Amino acid sequence: MPAPYIFTKSLSLHKILDQKTTADPHVTPRQPPPAAVPATSTTKHFSNMFSPPPSFASPPSTLPSSVTKPRPSLTCRLRKRTYYRRFGLQASISPPAPAPPTASQPFASDDSDDSDSLHEECGVVGVWGHPSSAAVAYYALHALQHRGQEGAGIVTSGESFSPDLREYKGLGLVSEVFANALDGDSLAGESAIAHNRYSTSGEKSVRNVQPFRASFREGQVAVAHNGNLTNADVLRVELELRGSIFATSSDTEVVLHLMATSVGSSGGVARKAADALNRVEGAYSILILTKETLIAVRDPYGFRPLVMGELKVEGRAAPAIVFASETCALDIVEAKFMREVEPGEMVSIDREGNITNSFPFPPLRRHACVFEHIYFSKPSSVVFGRSVYMSRFRFGELLATSAMVPDADAIVPVPESGVPAALGYASASGIQFQQAIIRSHYVGRTFIQPTQVARDIGVRLKLAPVEALIRGRSVVVVDDSIVRGTTSKKIVRMLRDAGAREVHFRIACPPITGGCFYGVDTPDKEKLLSNRMTDAEACEYIGADSLAFLPLDAMHEFLADEAPTFCDACFSGNYPVLPAVVTPPKLAAGF
């Protein structure tokens, strides 16, 4: 067990955007929301994000007698409530008995078509030893844009005359955030880490855009994180009770505070990172940057991918090192794939370019997220040692074997993610593949759904049927997954309006019946179509002539001996680690 973490007023994580606090030290008040900040000017608002205040009184070591059960912060209470509501958890973290589904029951849905899919919450990039590290990180982020579209940031290091790390971040797509940021030397440096983010509703704030930066005794540190810490709420309350003040709602900031309170005096930032990450649970692929080193860490379960490559640098014998969430990011910058960062591994690169690795965490059985192969990762990537495209193609073949529609006239994919599986289904069935639904690539992200006009137009903003390929025909629509069912329902109606004689829906993954705790933004459990309804009721809800999913056993058959090393909790309910929930007894005890 790590040594106890003791709060001291010398920590440098207590000033939030130059605001002072005079609140009760035992209860962290809700911070006012930040003003809207243009992407081109966000840097100066974050430059002193974690600087120490002019004065800060250390809280007493014991609570006053009048405070027997300190009330958790509003942030903690809201996050706890979100976990209960979102995943249907009781205080004991055991799911309640599901209510029997009824087709007549009104189905809770979100009118936004963007909400009817699962979202990976981010992608990370690290570059070491390249004179244009920010540019390399920028293009690599482009390749990972599918992993997060709400915001992006880059932090660089390497200018010998500057003791500080340099950063630039903002809301929007990578091309929007960095439209002018790479001009000049504002992000000069030979090392960089970068991050793009998908945010949940209510959390779309530049404060939550990573990488995050903090000042330690060893100097400035920046962190970028892909995943989700399942005990972040408990750790956050513990840290708040001991005086820490949080500037964001991100679980990544918990890691920075834990590093700041690490009692390890030797080993530098790498030791602090190991101490901090030994206290967290859940999923993390993390990059840590200082003036002296770049550190890459992957959690012992290996939930999220993290790969390592080398990039030739003109005029230099030693190659640059590139870390990324997927191999497609290495491909775009022409870096050669070296290997995966292994589950539980910490890889460090020092100023001289020496690479060392260690395994500072207790070993756990690997649980790589199978949804990386179903939907999240780019088809051109190799993830967990397997081609993503070939996995999806094979899922389509297996789906055709288990749920054939023999008299169909055409196999139609839902673009773009359903294309590989549809090609596999067509190959196994012998039925002609037709690109009968065309996706618009110029719509962008639409969040104006509250208007009735937007509701009526709905999915037609993004998808258009080719009537000549549909009218009078029986079509099999293949999609990678179905979440709420709202988009599927609109697609069925759109195809019938285009003259389809029959519409059969085939889903190239098992039914999604549970949420994810490991870095995927999933709807509330009661909004998941397959958790709420039987297959027959779901078919009636979306209006299809038939509906079938890839059986879980068929997916396991494809994974073969590696099946036990994949996490399929959203299908099976077998969660390797459940979230820790803050409870009043823990608060009363002051941890």
Where b means 16+ CB within 10 Å and e means fewer, 507-523 reads bbbbbbbbbbbbbbbbb
Cβ neighbours for 198, distance < 8 A, ≥ 6 positions apart: 119, 120, 121, 122, 147, 148, 149, 150, 521
| DSSP secondary structure letter of residue 484 | S
Assigned token pair, 363: 């070993």
Please give the radius of gyration of the chain, using alpha carbons only, rounded to the nearest integer: 25
Distance of alpha carbon 246 from alpha carbon 385, whole angstroms: 38
Catalytic residue among 76, 122, 516, 570: 122
**CA–centroid distance for 454 within its chain:** 28
Is 369 tagged catalytic? no
H or E element in which residue 227 lies: strand 219-229
SS3 142: helix
Upper half-sphere CA count for residue 47 (Cβ side, 13 Å): 7
Cα separations (Å) of 268 from 216, 253, 290, 351? 10, 19, 11, 14
How many CB atoms sit inside 10 A of residue 440's CB? 12
Q: Label the pairing between strands 320-324 and 307-311.
A: antiparallel
Assigned token pair, 194: 């970068």
User: Do 130 and 335 form a contact (C-beta atoms < 8 A)?
Assistant: no
Beta-sheet strand order (sheet of 166-171) = 166-171, 151-157, 191-197, 122-128, 320-324, 307-311, 336-340
- Please report which residue ranges of 449-567 form alpha helices under DSSP H: 452-457, 486-497, 529-532, 535-542, 552-559
Q: Tell me how far apart the 2 most distant CA atoms of the chain are, in Å.
A: 78
User: Do 412 and 422 form a contact (C-beta atoms < 8 A)?
Assistant: yes
Q: Is 177 left (phi over 0), alpha (psi -120 to 50) or beta?
A: alpha
- Please report which residue ranges of 418-522 form alpha helices under DSSP H: 419-429, 452-457, 486-497
Lookup result for tokens 């602090």: 272
- Please report which residue ranges of 131-244 form alpha helices under DSSP H: 133-143, 174-177, 232-241
Distance of alpha carbon 531 from alpha carbon 535, whole angstroms: 10
- Please report which residue ranges of 194-340 form alpha helices under DSSP H: 232-241, 252-260, 268-277, 327-332
Cα separations (Å) of 292 from 48, 59, 155, 167, 397? 21, 34, 14, 16, 50
Cα separations (Å) of 390 from 6, 308, 381? 50, 22, 10
Distance of alpha carbon 399 from alpha carbon 119, whole angstroms: 23
**Which residues are known to be catalytic?**
122
